[in-house]
A and B are shown apart, each in its own frame.
Chain A
Amino acid sequence: MKLVVAIIKPFKFDDVRDALSRLGVHGMTVSEVRGFGRQKGHTEIYRGAEYSTSMVPKIRIETAVDDALASAAVEAIEQTARTGAIGDGKIFVLDIGQAVRIRTGETDDSAL
């Protein structure tokens, strides 16, 4: 089992979700996050008071998939989230030690 974590541009979220659904990814957890990499925020000015924010808003998707699906999921995210511009985001893949579906007690692959 792999946990695929993707940090993407917020407006690309719908495309990415649709692509993952088509692959058979049944669920995901999504959060609105802020951070920075090479893309560096913006400046706001209120009556001459200048505030620079280094943080950029992003969407963070976490989805657990079985090993066979992992590389296809990564490829799907990569292709749908890409604009070619700075700030497209990153994908991380982590190994999962254990998974449990709380309602039924099913474990590992059958819990995904």
Chain B
Amino acid sequence: MVLSTRLAAVPALLGLSVLAAPPAFAQAAAAAPDSGDTAWMLTSSAFVLLMIVPGLALFYGGLVRAKNMLSLLTQIATLTAIAILVWVGWGYSLAFVDGNAVIGGFDKAFLAGITPATLSGTIPEYVFVCFQMTFAAITVALAIGSLAERVKFSALMLFGVLWLTVVYLPLAHMVWSSTGYFFKMGALDFAGGTVVHINAGVAGLVGCLLLGKRIGYQKEILAPHSMTNTLIGTGLLWVGWFGFNAGSALAANGTAALATINTFVATAAALVAWLIAERAAGHKPSLLGACSGAIAGLVAVTPAAGNAGPIGAIGLGAIASLCCFLFVVMLKPRLGFDDALDVFGIHGIGGIVGSLGTALVYAPLLGGPGAAGYLIVPQLGIQAYAVGVAIVWSAVGSAVVYAIVNAVVGLRVSPDVEREGLDLGEHGERAYNY
């Protein structure tokens, strides 16, 4: 959505410069990136990396037992590195070359043809490559939370390469490329509710179903080892999310400002809503509840960040938080599957609620930026269709990838390694020596 607007503006700008200046200068003026936009997008790219390493790594790491802390940190750092390399190799090209409605092509494999002078909208294309690269990295890193405390490191590395290629890149192309299937359909997804969160949530769910429960699940104490780390991770995620959401404006402008305020308020509303839900359920207000609520709000506001007014975003964040609470706290214990870090419960459910809710909060009636003639119901249909296709795409594609990985290296560590802890068993180190 945003990308096409920016790209469409380029010829217009070119035309204007030709009229306004002598030809020699026109060429130079046209080729110059907007320095404000470029500065903001450079910053945003680094912000999204901050969300993953160390943000997500600490958030997830704090939630596992001390004997598995280091394995989560290692998995996330290494998957991030792999995603970066895949992205430069063929990821960017398959996601953002025009190609067909489902996938790009290999024209820009290994970033062929891109130079410091190449522009994407008003920013150097290298910056756009970097910004989108971080999205691929965080999506695969998010997904593996469901497999924590029992998955093989080698399996995750192979999974990273295959899953990004088979599942993530086509979905990113469909949503963000101007030739993509959802893009042309008019689905609203500002910063990646479907590509990142629904995708990661569903991949996580499929993965934990195939992998099976942790030894001792619902029998032994599997309590988080450090809520301090989890809060630090949550804070880094929230801060980094300003790059994720406001950066998705691809410019330093009013839409980025709207995405920023929404990323503040939706998260705040969701945090408070989770604690209220805890009280209503007869529990004490917990820090993990506050962190979970905050993440649920961040997830839900992702597709809506530039597509909602602040009051709409508050409502969306609160409702998404309540839905995630009901799923994670009330429903999941009865379903009996072991999504260790609630990737589906927070990112899947939050992503679905956010993507559907974006159709509502986009309406001018609810303070959204939609045009005066905007109709909620048809847009809701488009959103629901996009969500449904994303769920099926991610579920089927992920299942295939897990099956391949299981056949090649095996998904799960031995029971001995699982009991001893993945830190010593898989990495030969401990997170803490004291």
Q: Using CB atoms and an 8 Å cutoff, list the residues of chain A in contact with chain B.
A: 44-49, 51, 53
Contacts and interface: CB of A to CB of B under 8 A. Distances in A.
A47 B342 contact: yes
Contacts of B329: 47-48
Contact of A48 (B221, B224, B284, B332): B332
A51 B342 contact: no
B223 A46 contact: yes
A47 B288 contact: yes
Interface string B386-423: 00000000000000000000000000000000000000
B69 to A, nearest CB: 16
Interface of B: 218, 221-224, 283-284, 286, 288-289, 292, 328-330, 332-333, 342, 345
Contact of A49 (B284, B330, B333): B333
A48 B223 contact: no
A93 B335 CA distance: 52
Chain B CB count within 10 A is highest, among A44, A45, A47, A53, for A47
Contacts of A49: 218, 222-223, 333
Contact of B333 (A44, A48, A51, A53): A48
Contacts of B218: 49
Given A44-B223, A47-B288, A48-B330, 14 more contacts: A45-B286, A46-B286, A47-B289, A47-B328, A47-B345, A48-B328, A48-B329, A48-B332, A48-B333, A49-B218, A49-B222, A49-B333, A51-B222, A53-B221
A87 B129 CA distance: 62
A46 B224 contact: yes
Nearest to B218: A49
B177 to A, nearest CB: 37
26 contacts: A44-B223, A45-B283, A45-B286, A46-B223, A46-B224, A46-B286, A46-B288, A47-B288, A47-B289, A47-B292, A47-B328, A47-B329, A47-B342, A47-B345, A48-B328, A48-B329, A48-B332, A48-B333, A49-B218, A49-B222, A49-B223, A49-B333, A51-B221, A51-B222, A51-B223, A53-B221
Contacts of B286: 45-46
A45 B332 CA distance: 14
A47 B283 CA distance: 10
B231 to A, nearest CB: 14
Contacts of B330: 48
Contacts of B224: 46
A53 B222 CA distance: 12
Contacts of B221: 51, 53
A53 to B, nearest CB: 7
A10 B222 CA distance: 26
B205 to A, nearest CB: 16
